[in-house]
Homo-oligomer: A and B are copies of this chain.
């Protein structure tokens, strides 16, 4: 009765999200239940305990289900280190290289990450996003043909070039991690957690997206100096910083030698809803169209592709 049930766990640096899903005979995937937990860098107990705290009730109800983990849980700072498969690669191939082991009598499979090499000797890596790219490929058969640029914002933004269903190469920007560090630990932000301020966000984005030489080093301090001179309220400073960092990230993607951003009909954005909208909005400043996808739907489609 439950032979089409799977457990998929998206276990990144900052969050754990465990999904109990049913794969319908049509190939559709239905979400039955979700549990949330702590990311890899925030663990206080063992990875095994954290996992089973989340999924034990499901295992009790439904017995031995396939358990798939993806994300930083398979990295050198995670539970068991899974390999990186080199680009170019069709994401469907990740299911041939699981790192599988037994925990509390259950088989657990960690999805491998993907690596690429730029300019002969510069490597980049992803873990977790390969599953979302797989989900995005399953979303629409047309995605298997043609050139696409995907933008996956999160703790780290991944910019991914796909040609005919194969990941060719990708680039990482630490935009989300920088935002977290700078809002919680730096001199720039004294009051964290205010509401989103659209005007401040756009002001920050315009500061960097339009910069000729890359304004990061000598403009970041403007987050503070603008507050000192009443050009930015304490409550809007986080939004300005968010725009500033996303502007830097998109500017770098526009200047990347590996693709011409204007050659794509639309940039495919896969990330948390508000964050995705933020990236879409800054792209629109430069008249670049984008399509924002439902990240949960894409992630579940990815897990369904692992069977």
Residues of A within 8 A of B (CB): 13, 41, 76-77, 84, 115, 121-125, 156, 159, 171-175, 177, 181-182, 185-188, 190, 211, 213-218, 220-222, 225-226, 228-229, 231, 248-249, 251-253, 255-256
Residues of B within 8 A of A177 (CB): 186-187
**A152 CB to nearest B CB, Å:** 14
Q: Assess the B181–A186 pair: CB atoms within 8 A.
A: yes
Given known contacts A213-B214, A217-B248, A225 and B182 CB-to-CB distance under 8 angstroms: no
Residues of B within 8 A of A214 (CB): 211, 213-216, 252
Which applies to chain A's interface (DSSP): helix, strand, loop or mixed? Answer: mixed
Q: How many copies does the complex hold?
A: 2
Which 9 pairs show the lowest CB-CB distances between chains A and B? A214-B214, A217-B252, A172-B221, A213-B255, A218-B252, A216-B216, A123-B229, A173-B217, A217-B248
Q: Assess the B252–A13 pair: CB atoms within 8 A.
A: no
In the bound complex, what is the Cα–Cα distance between A38 and B145 (angstroms)?
A: 60
A-B residue pairs in contact (CB < 8 Å), sample of 20: A41-B187, A76-B228, A121-B231, A122-B225, A123-B229, A125-B228, A156-B221, A171-B218, A172-B218, A172-B225, A177-B186, A177-B187, A213-B213, A214-B215, A215-B252, A216-B248, A216-B252, A217-B248, A217-B252, A218-B253
